[in-house]
Structure formats: structure tokens, C-alpha cells
Structure 1
Amino acid sequence: MGLNKNKGLATLIGDMDEVYSKELGLDKNKTIQIPVEKIKINPFQPRKYFNKEALDELANSIKQYGLIQPIIVLKQKDHYTLVAGERRLRAYKMLGYENILALVSDAKEEKLRELALIENIQRENLNPIELANSYKDLIEVYEITQENLASLVNKSRAQITNTLRLLNLDSSTQKLIIEGKISQGHAKILVGLNKKDEKMITNSIIGQQLSVHDTEKIVKKIKNQETINLENDLEFETEFKELIKLLNNKNFKCKKSKKNLIIHLKNIDIIKKLKQIIEKIN
């Protein structure tokens, strides 16, 4: 079921017009007007965020020049499911238009996910999170490696990896990336921080309008401090164990409780002995 994977994903990604005409059996010369209210959004659409200003511009363009490129839908029993053209459909709804020009296919619904992914992977205006989700889905749907995908979409393996890593960020940070409040340059620096530091740096980027370079310097300091703290913790543990060993050799029964040293003083002689040792230190 679905797209013929024997053709190769590269072929599909390379020419969307051919994908639509062959995979959906479309004739570009046969378009019809269909009711906007009967069109349902593709549930597999990777794009989740639509810039209102851009939609306003598109609506004004459609109002002035008409719809240049028809949307593409699949015919269902009592409705149509959108395959491509959600921005155009949203613009039509904003204008209050009742009907929209469309290319209609009666292909099976299994194609929806793959077509939406391939159609969107070519869009230059996908936000980084949408692009990351598209990469993730393509890897899963086609069972390919990051190296394969990098070759197919003409990106470096590092670019694919860095984009996918954005999905490890907190959902609130991802939302800020989607809204354009944090750039991808900022975002890739945040990957790997604990959630507390991530939130703190995110707030600083927005509140203090930090540049990518400034953000990088701050994050570097945080990571260096974590390394120093780790080294200090390791040294602390080593010295603590040595101290306990030393005290045990002096017949003091003691144990460690987190960062506390507990010495059992069972009689007056033990107390006097400990006192003498401390006085010698002074």
C-alpha cells in the first residue's frame, strides 16, 4: 500500500508534479470547483503553524489575482481530504469564499501521509521543528538512515542530525522556535542542557535579545561549570573515603551519609582521643 517505494524516494522528492499526476492519477487540465466547507485537513500534515501575516498577504494576492495553483484533494464518501494547499485553503476561508478550484483524486487514503511528507520536505519556509518532524517521519516511513536522507535532500549528515536534535528540546522551547521567537541557531546551542538551564537561557535570549554568539558563550560557561562541579564532586568523594579509612584505622567507628560524616562516640575514651587529635591539628 502507499507509494511505490521501488521507484526510489529521490525520484519522488525530485518532482512533485510527477508524484501528484502519477500517484494520484491527476490530470492537471481537469479542475473543478468544490465547496470549502466539505474539505477536511490532512491529519498527516507536518505543518502545524501558519504565519498570520503571510496568510493575510496570500489572501490579498488571491483576492486581486485569483487562485493561480489549484489545491489537491482526495475524494472521500461525503467529503474531500486535503493533500496539498492548506495555506491556500485557509486564505480562501479568510476571504469567505464558498468554493475553491481543486484537482480531485479518488486514490486510497494510505497515500496521504507520504504525499504530505514529500510535499512539505521541499518547502523552504517550513519552520525548523516542522522540518525536524518531517525528517523524522521520512526516516520512519521509508526505513532509511540519516545518511540516506541527507543524500536525498542534498543536506549534510550534520545538518540532518542537528535538525533532528531540536526534537529533544522542551515543548515550550519548540513552541518558541515555531513562532520564530528563537532562531535555529539559538536552538541548536540549547540542545543538551538540562531543562532548568534550557528554560533560563531561553528566557534570557528573549528577554535580553541575546545574539547566537552571546548565547553560545553563556552555554559554554554553564557546561564548563558542570565539568568543574563534576571534578570537584569526584575529588570530594575520594577525599571523603580516605578520611573514613584513616579514622577507622584509628579505631573510630564512622560512616558517610550523603555529605555528612557520622562518628560513633561510644565512650569517654573515644571522645578524649578525638579531642586530642583535633587539638594536634590546631
Structure 2
Amino acid sequence: MAKKNLALGRGLGAILSEVGQAYENNFSDNSELVVELDVDNIKPNPYQPRKHFSDDSVSELSQSISEHGLLQPILVYEDENNDYVLIAGERRLRATKLASIKTIKAIIVEMDLTKLREIALIENIQREDLNIIDLANSYRELIDDYQITHEELAKRIKKSRTQITNTLRILNLSTEIQEMLIEEKISQGHAKILVALEQKEQKIVLDSIVGQKLSVRDTESLVKKLKDSNESKGKIESFADRNKSPKTVLNSDPKIGELVSLLKKYLISASIKNNHLILDISDRSKISEVIKKLS
């Protein structure tokens, strides 16, 4: 386990350094590193952790590339079959294809292929436009693969432990809520409120958010009312339980039944009502005999 932790520490530093250096080279006097590649000859990154790309976002970038050109090259490596495989920049590649541009600026990187997945993860983690679900899954993959704590991951990617923990909690939401979050039908603010609720309550609040177009503040108010209502209901039920007649318990007690049968032998009618043993003595002469038996 310790060996893996060390590998992550060196790996992330090296990854960030290599990617950063490649971009810096492009903007300095090393422009010979940038080449034009046919977009159709670039294979996707098989380890791409980003599953969702906003159509609107890709469309906007496509328009920008058409007007101003691609400002930041993509990163690729050449595999054993002399094919180019994408390392970073899938959104840029998609936007370029959408703009019907046949070639794209790229930097060909020589690298240890064992780092390919980590590069994809880190590149996504550092993007501000990454949706919260893909970000949470990227955190989860790094934690699971390297068997590290939230604190250790926070130090390595320069994030707060609280931010990582809160982001990972989003994965506890139902699939329906996660999809709505990805589709931006609800916000991250809504999700943070929902994740603190039970599954049944999540559904109730979600329907209200979508149906009534509730803001985050409105949702907080709704949840507070829901919790206050449940708390009051719990208090009422608790009070009722304390004052509930234990008639059922008395009826099920064999000794009570034995006592009732014994009293009936002395012609004393006995019954249980509201947790009380009620005697109907029609023959007073039997009272002394009963007392004698009971004493």
C-alpha cells in the first residue's frame, strides 16, 4: 500500500509538470513541437473519466475555434501501431470536428503509458467546467486505485479535504438525481441539500424543486419545514406511545388469564378494560372466600 502512495505522489507531480511544460513550450520559442494532425486519425483516450460533454459548451467552443482558431493544442502520444491517441483535450477535438475543420494543432508527447489514466483524471479534475458527477468519480477512482485517504488526495491535488469529502457525498444520491444534476435541471446547491436526506425524502423534495422551480434558498426552507414536521410527528407518536393503553399486553399475559378464570370459579365476573381489572361480584358471600384464597 505504501508503495502505491509513493507512486501517486511522484506520478501526479510528473504528470502536471509534463503537461504544463508541453503547453509552455508551445507559447515560447519551441513552436516546432506543435504539429497539425488529421482529426479523423486521432483515437480517443481509452481512460477518459469524463463521461458527459455539454452540447452547448462544445457548440460555443466550436464557434470560437471557427472565428479565432484553436488557442491551446491537444496532447497526443504515438502508440506501437504509429497511431495517435488523445491524452488531453477531448472537448477541443469534438469542437474542432463540429466546426468541420479537418486538422487540429497537437503536441506529441513521449511518456510512460502507465501515466495515461492519471493524466486524464488530473486534467479533468483541474477543469472548472467539469460537472460534479464526473469530478466525484475522478476523485473516487484515484482514492480506490491508490488506496489513499481524502486527506492524502487533498494534499496531492491542492484541494481541501472538506471539498473532496463533500463532492464524494454527491455519489450517494439516487441515479435520477445525478442525471438531473448532469443535465443542469438542478444545481449543485440543490444536490448538497438533497444528499443529507433519506431516499424517500429526496424524492419528495426533488419533485418540488423541479415542479415548482425552487431556488436553493426555497429548497432549504422546504427541507427545514419537512424536518420540523417529522420531528413534531415523532414527538406526538412518542407521547401517544407513552399513554397508549397496554390492554393488549394484559390480555396476552397468561397470569392475568389464570386470575380471571379463578375469579369466575367463585362466580365473580372479571374483565379487562383500559388496563383495569373489573370485577362484578353478584354473590357477596364469595368475597370472604376469595380474600382467604388470595391472602
TM-score tier after normalising by the smaller chain length: 0.7 to 0.9
The residue that corresponds to 1:48 in the other structure is 51
How many Å separate the matches in 2 of 1:52 and 1:229?
46
5 Å matches for 1:72-221?
72-76=75-79, 77=81, 79-105=83-109, 107-221=111-225
- Amino acid in the other structure paired with 2:271: K
- State percent identity of aligned pairs: 44
2 CA distance for matches of 1:28 and 1:223?
A: 61
For residues 68 and 276 of structure 1, what CA distance do their matches in structure 2 show? 84
TM-score, with length taken from structure 1? 0.76
TM-superposition CA deviations, 1:4-40 (whole Å, max 9, x none): 535364675577414889xxxxx86323222222222
Q: Single out whichever of 145-154 and 85-94 deviates more from structure 2.
A: 145-154
Structure 1 96/106 Cα, relative in aligned 2: closer, same or farther at 3 Å?
same
Rg larger in structure: 2
| In structure 1, distance between residues paired with 2:275 and 2:244 | 18
Amino acid at match of 1:251: I
Paired with 1:92 and 1:148, the residues of 2 have a C-alpha distance of 37
Q: Aligned partner of 2:51: which letter?
A: K
> Which residues in structure 2 correspond to 1:225-244 (within 5 Å)?
225-230=229-234, 242-244=246-248
The one of 46, 51, 68 equivalent to 2:71 is 68
Contact conserved, 2:50 with 2:124, CA < 8 A, in 1?
A: yes
Aligned length: 262
**Superposed displacement of residue 234, structure 1:** 5.8
| Unaligned residue ranges in structure 1 (runs of 5+) | 22-26, 254-266
1:23-42 residue pairs with structure 2 within 5 A?
Answer: 29-42=32-45
Helix, strand or coil for the counterpart of 1:68? coil
TM-score by length of 2: 0.73
Question: Closer, same or farther in 2 for the Cα pair 1:202/1:275, shift >3 Å?
Answer: closer
| Structure 1 residue 83 displacement after superposition | 0.9
Aligned to 1:103, the other structure's residue is in SS state: strand
- RMSD across aligned positions (CA): 3.8
Contact 1:139–1:146 (CA under 8 A) maintained in structure 2: yes
Provide closer, same or farther for how the CA distance between residues 204 and 10 of structure 1 changes in structure 2, counting only shifts above 3 A. farther
Answer whether contact 1:252 1:270 (CA < 8 A) is retained.
no
Aligned to 1:261: none
SS at structure 2 position matched to 1:44 = coil
Displacement, 1:114?
0.3
Cα shift at 1:203? 2.1
Structure 2: gaps spanning 5 or more residues = 25-29, 259-263, 279-295
Which deviates further from its counterpart, 85-94 or 270-279?
A: 270-279
Tell whether the 8 Å contact from 2:247 to 2:275 is kept in structure 1 after alignment: no
**Structure 2 match to 1:251:** 256
Deviation at 1:194, TM superposition (A): 2.9
